[in-house]
Structure 1
């Protein structure tokens, strides 16, 4: 099986998929699209992700877009090293955690929304910063409760799940935006635990082949 992840080094949605694939020991190549230059809007990515957003996963000529859908496909296709718990209620809780990040926090703060605020609507930078902090804090406050109730070292239980695949990149983003995280000790403890695991470390943006240390 030939697998290519179409993404960008600093895309947190791509970061999620890298973590999931690494945790499962899956080999994949990468194809990069520089979001700063708008490369994701071209036909090269469009044939894999019609919305023109990374990531997309190409597998033997077929393509999947949307990071949560990709992670679910990885879970079904590679059931060893599971990223979802065994029982239905626990799986639902993990999916709720992941969706809090992927559906309620990240979309409001991703590059195209921030560009629209800055360039299309003329929102000043201090207001953009407050916007970013508002949605990260709201989502993290909910996650802090969920992890306190269900976590035992990770977001849920004693092993990494899809929720951890989503949390670590979102904390990375929060730090990039200089968001104060002192109100979220449970989240920070999970992030620290994950940082000790090679699969998470290898997925970090700075370790990707297209990383250049520049902005965005």
Structure 2
């Protein structure tokens, strides 16, 4: 699989952040193609990008002429195309657990506080900023309560979400913790999540994927 990898990304997109972590864990070189989600009404709505991703969303991964959309699908594609090191465990039971943890973030928490939802609240319903912030915090806290319980109670949890090496669930969790901190969520009630975050952020794969490390990062966005 020698074709070039190119990632349409936005520095502060948590979905793109997940994929950057996965690419780094795999040790894969890739080119970043920035898509600014705010400038000029959002570059994701421009015809050139919509032709690549009709959902008007990032990330999109280009592998040669292949186009892969949706962050979790991209991560699983990477795991199948480059099996080592693994993002998903060996057994069906363990893979189901890891997928469940990942989807708790990617399907249940993140969609309720991503940019397009917040823009709709602001521009269509004219929801005040304070109420939008409360919405974000509520759904992150509710999701993290479940995540903390699942991680804390299961002996399969190790230094990371599953065992002693980071994988798919960690790729999804760490960007959501970044969002929680960004929006002022008090994480004191989630010691297991914080412990895993600390373990992840000691690894170059996670450090290099951080938003402020990206080529399109800027002070204001």
Common fold by TM > 0.5? yes
Give runs of ≥4 in structure 1 deviating > 2 Å.
none
2:22 corresponds to 1:16: no
**Distance (whole Å) between structure 2 residues aligned to residue 14 and residue 91 of structure 1:** 22
Superposed counterparts of 1:119-158, under 5 Å: 119-148=123-152, 149=154, 150-158=156-164
- Residue 73 of structure 1 corresponds to 77
Indicate conservation of the 8 Å contact 1:4/1:29, yes or no.
yes
Match of residue 6, structure 2, among 4, 9, 29: 4
- Aligned residue pairs: how many? 215
Which structure 1 residue ranges, 5 or more long, are not aligned? none
- What's the TM-score once normalised by structure 1's chain length? 0.97
Give the CA RMSD over aligned residues: 0.8
State TM-score, norm by structure 2.
Answer: 0.95
In 1, the alpha carbon distance for the partners of 2:99 and 2:63 equals 24
Describe the SS at the equivalent of 2:53.
Answer: coil
Q: Counterpart in 1 of 2:214?
A: 208
* Displacement after TM superposition at 1:166 (Å): 0.5
- Structure 2: gaps of 5 or more residues: none
Deviations along 1:126-160, one digit per CA (max 9) or x if unpaired, are: 11111001110111111101211131110111110
Alignment map for 1:33-72 (pairs within 5 Å):
33-37=35-39, 38-72=42-76
Distance (Å, rounded) in 1 between the aligned partners of 2:192 and 2:148:
6
